[in-house]
Amino acid sequence: MTISIRSAKPGDEETVLGFIKSLAAYEKLSDEVVATTDLVAKTLFGPSPKAFALIAERDNAPVGFALYFFNYSTFLGRHGLYLEDLFVPEDQRGFGVGKALLSRLAQIAVEHNCGRMEWSVLDWNAPAIAFYKSIGAQSMEGWTINRLTGGALKALAGEAKL
C-alpha cells in the first residue's frame, strides 16, 4: 500500500479537525480544543493563511496529518519550519506514515531555504521521542517552552497599550 502526502485544501476542514481532536485525546488535552471547522477553514484556507497542513493517505483514505508554519531564526538569519502537530492514529502506526509526513516537511523546509525544522514533544511520549531520535532529531536540552494564553495574554496586551 502506497502512502501519499498532499497539501490540505478547502473541504478538508473536518478531516483536519478530526485529527486535531484525536491528537488532543492522545495527549490527554481534549478539554483544550476550542477549534471548529469554521476556524480551521478560515485560518488554513483563508486569503492569507499563516499555517498549513499536510494529509497522509493510503488507499485514498486519510491516515495522518501534519500542521506547520514558518518561523524565523535570528541567529541563522533564515526562516525555519515549525511542526505544530503530527498525528497518526494508533492503528496506522508502523507503516511509515509519520516518516513520510516528516520527509515531506523536510522537503518543504529545503524548498523554502529554511535553516532548520523544529517541533515539541511531550516528555512522557516515549514512542514519539524514540521515533524522532531514529530519524536523527536532537532534543533541545536546557530549553523551556513558555506560553501566554487567555487572561494572561489579554492582560499583557492591555499593558502594552500604555
Q: Could you confirm whether 132 is annotated as catalytic?
A: yes
Quickly count: other Cβ atoms within 10 Å of residue 85's Cβ: 18
Torsion sign over Cα 29, 9, 100, 69: negative
Q: Residues of 29-56 as b/e, b for ≥16 C-beta within 10 angstroms?
A: eeeeeeeeeeebbeebbeeeeeebbbbb
Residues 6 or more apart whose CB falls under 8 angstroms from that of 58 comprise: 1, 2, 3, 4, 92, 95, 97
Q: Given the residues 26, 68, 72, 132, select the one marked as catalytic.
A: 132
Instruction: Give backbone dihedrals phi and psi of 38, rounded to 5 degrees, phi first.
Output: -65, -45
Intra-chain end-to-end CA distance of the chain, in Å: 59
Q: Which residues are catalytic?
A: 132
